[in-house]
Structure 1
Amino acid sequence: MSVYTQLTNDQFATFCQSFGVSFVRAIPITQGIKNSNWFIQTTDDVDGAYSYVLTLFEERPPADIEKMAVILNQLDGKLPVAAPLSVIESNSVQTDDDDKRYVIHYEDKAITLVPCLAGSHPEQTTQAMCHDIGAALAMLHETLQALQPAEQYGVPLYPWADVRDREMQFMPGDEAKLMSDIWRSYTELPLTTLPNGLCHLDMFADNTLWNLQKGEEHLTGLLDFTEVSVEHYVMDIAITINDFCTTWGMAEQGESVNFDRSKMAAFLQGYESKRALGLDEKRALPVMLAKAAVIFWLLRLNVIHYNRTEGRTGDNIMVKNPDLMKRLAAYHWAHVEKSQNTVFVLSGTTSDNQIIGVFSSITQAEQAREKLSNSSEFAIKEYTLDQLS
């Protein structure tokens, strides 16, 4: 992640000593956009290896990070997470888990030290990886239900409506309309009936680690739990789908945005292998996909705003292109608008052309086809309502 705060080697050594770790070297981590992070090499590491990650949280207050530590300990053993090390108390008195501290303070900011997890960030995802991250997200949702009341552990949701109102003043008319239309459609969903609980809300591929041996890819790490909040599960699903099921082209490729619906079907199949989605959740998903893209469109605009107002500059500051999320939002919104006048028919490809089902969204039709043992023998056709075929 980006490095905003500069620390000296003496400071790193002092911080690491607080967690019982002997410091040798800190290596900046420049991916990401929110916090300052370094790999920590210790006296036990050889050949330039490193055992820990030290994070200085630039925005979240220390109390929020203490909550995050509890969440990670709840998940530890069920999912591949890096639970923060506890602070070594100077009085050497053994403390219960409930009394342990996992955060030290530096200029009113929180610092944690966590073990490095094995694996790499994937440059591309496969259908199998989308299936596995879907199952992992469902397991996360189910496991964190044990922490009650959930609001006590989650941080407040960011006031994105305020960012929307600020940024829409400077947008071209078509962009402002897109954002406004998606937001309105989201508010018209049956939000009170949608299941909610503690959600990750930032499960992008670069917040996961994998053993990427071809043909045997498996998940080895889930990262960055700073945004865990009480939210609708289907929003967390939409956020994760948007990154894992999209191929983001590089600058030299025109920064293309290519969404893969077969990957989304695999993700949903994996998710439902651990937690079944309700009918309201399935119906809400297309709009949630668009709204999730809007949120990250606003997030990237917000980062640019704060970098400008705070005078943040330098090679270690990375800014992600907000236009990519705008294009993804437009893609999803086009499908929402189209689905309002369209049905999707799942039928056989043989001569009898047997109709298996009629669905209100392509997502539900694809999910139904994936459940068929001979799915390749069935096709999905879309029909516009109130027109002759």
Structure 2
Amino acid sequence: MSVYTQLTNDQFAAFCQRFGVSFARAIPITQGIKNSNWFIQTTDDVDGAHSYVFTLFEERPPEDIEKMAVILNQLDGKLPVAAPLALIDDEGLDSDKNSDDKRYVIHYDDKAITLVPCLAGSHPQQTTQAMCHEIGASLAVLHETLQQLQPAEEYGVPLYPWSDVRDREMQFMPGDEAKLMSDIWQSYTDLPLATLPKGLCHLDMFADNTLWNLSLNNSQKGEERLTGLLDFTEVSVEHYVMDIAITINDFCTTWGDAEQGESVNFDRNKMAAFLQGYESKRPLGNDEKRALSVMLAKAAVIFWLLRLNVIHYNRTEGRTGDNIMVKNPDLMKRLAAYHWAHVEKPQNNTVFVLLGNKVDNQVVGVFSNIMQAEQAREKLSNSSEFAIKEYTLDQLS
């Protein structure tokens, strides 16, 4: 969606011809942060219309994009997706492959190129409860349908090493931000992850990766209809509840623009509608329900890190210009803090009591951990005369 690699009209025409498309014009798409994208107008299109989206994948290797094409073909007919066009030539076809095997990816400078049909509809500026219900149901259908691709690991791309980004970025964070990130990460690690169902997940189902029929009449009646699911480049094997959390975080949050102070407003009624939609197609297990609050916080942390990583990558690669869009990482930080405040924390049932000399055993202080109690004792004169005793709450001594 941002444009990083520049192509000439002759190059566009040659690439499109390999897909059987007669090229007339390429129109840059500047939304997004990862790949270079253009709308393609063909010689058959009327002025102002375009039939295809041409994508040059800047980071993902071509073999990953080949997997994506298989995934989209699997979903085609069950969900509104744009499956890549097949190449009409046999250039680069392996001699040991059947001539009927289709290829969907052009290799260009070790990068992948695909051409997909444009889907009808538009990106929503705001979501409704009805839209959240429908995207929830669609995500469940996606999870169920892709279970047919086995082993799943052969179709999903590897998960990004976000812990490496975390370790790099936390060095430069204020202490409170680093603690927030660390606490959420630890809480995620403490989940019973082995019991949570996994499979192929989209992992980037933001509202701007969806299209809807948003005609005025439909919007007024609450009958918005999903017409497109986009951007399957991040499909990986992950816990389904993480994919749910990622989607909820965007669909159920109203993001204020710069003039509104870039506020972050999470709508729990929209989340309830989303979960109702999802469970109409795939019921959640009890462990998944219990894990959701932590997953919502962890998902926000991942996208906080993603945006910091884009800034780091653009800086190290010297990327600048009007076509480069960077989303504010602070918005995801604020969402992570909101979710973390709603995570039920394990209660500390132990207190450490600092007692006076052995004669009167006067209570000098009560502390939640031994370190604080010891630090307090060290500040007292004749500290050796003071004792620290551990007590369990709500229990006879």
Identify the TM-score tier after normalising by the shorter chain. Answer: 0.7 to 0.9
Q: 1:219 aligns to what? A: 226
Q: 2:356 aligns to what? A: none
> How do 1:11-50 residues align onto structure 2 when only pairs under 5 Å count?
11-50=11-50
Count of aligned pairs: 340
> How do 1:95-110 residues align onto structure 2 when only pairs under 5 Å count?
99-110=101-112
**Alpha carbons of structure 1 residues 184 and 14: separation in structure 2 relative to 1, 3 Å:** same
What is the one-letter code of the residue matched to 1:117?
L
What is the one-letter code of the residue matched to 1:40?
I
**Alpha carbons of structure 1 residues 334 and 89: separation in structure 2 relative to 1, 3 Å:** same
Deviations 1:275-319 (CA, angstroms, capped at 9, x unpaired): 000000000000000000000000000000000000000000000
Structure 1: tracts of 5 or more residues without a match: 342-385
Q: 1:167 aligns to what? A: 169
What is the one-letter code of the residue matched to 2:159?
L
- SS of equivalent to 1:336: coil
Cα deviation for residue 90 of structure 1 reads 4.7
User: What is the TM-score when the length of structure 2 is the normalising length?
Assistant: 0.84
- SS of equivalent to 1:71: helix
* 2-structure distance, mates of 1:181, 1:128: 34
Residue 193 in structure 1 maps to residue 200 in structure 2: no
* 2-structure distance, mates of 1:44, 1:282: 51
Cα deviation for residue 89 of structure 1 reads 1.7
Residue 112 in structure 1 maps to residue 114 in structure 2: yes
Residue 123 in structure 1 maps to residue 125 in structure 2: yes
> How do 1:280-295 residues align onto structure 2 when only pairs under 5 Å count?
280-295=287-302
Q: 2:86 aligns to what? A: 86
Deviations 1:234-287 (CA, angstroms, capped at 9, x unpaired): 000000000000000000000000000000000000000000000000000000
Q: 1:177 aligns to what? A: 179
> How do 1:264-343 residues align onto structure 2 when only pairs under 5 Å count?
264-337=271-344
- SS of equivalent to 1:209: strand
**Alpha carbons of structure 1 residues 131 and 142: separation in structure 2 relative to 1, 3 Å:** same
Cα deviation for residue 198 of structure 1 reads 0.1
Cα deviation for residue 339 of structure 1 reads 8.6
Cα deviation for residue 48 of structure 1 reads 1.4
Structure number, greater radius of gyration = 2
What is the one-letter code of the residue matched to 1:247?
T
Q: 1:154 aligns to what? A: 156
What is the one-letter code of the residue matched to 1:69?
A
Deviations 1:110-137 (CA, angstroms, capped at 9, x unpaired): 0000000000000000000000000000
* 2-structure distance, mates of 1:45, 1:247: 36
- Root mean square deviation, CA, Å: 1.6
* 2-structure distance, mates of 1:297, 1:2: 19
Cα deviation for residue 47 of structure 1 reads 2.4
User: Segments of 4+ in structure 1 off by > 2 A?
Assistant: 95-98, 337-341
Residue 254 in structure 1 maps to residue 254 in structure 2: no
Q: Percent identity?
A: 89
> How do 1:325-364 residues align onto structure 2 when only pairs under 5 Å count?
325-337=332-344
What is the one-letter code of the residue matched to 1:299?
L
**Alpha carbons of structure 1 residues 127 and 235: separation in structure 2 relative to 1, 3 Å:** same
Cα deviation for residue 68 of structure 1 reads 0.1
User: What is the TM-score when the length of structure 1 is the normalising length?
Assistant: 0.85
Residue 232 in structure 1 maps to residue 256 in structure 2: no
Q: 2:353 aligns to what? A: none
Cα deviation for residue 96 of structure 1 reads 6.8
- SS of equivalent to 2:104: coil
**Alpha carbons of structure 1 residues 290 and 97: separation in structure 2 relative to 1, 3 Å:** farther
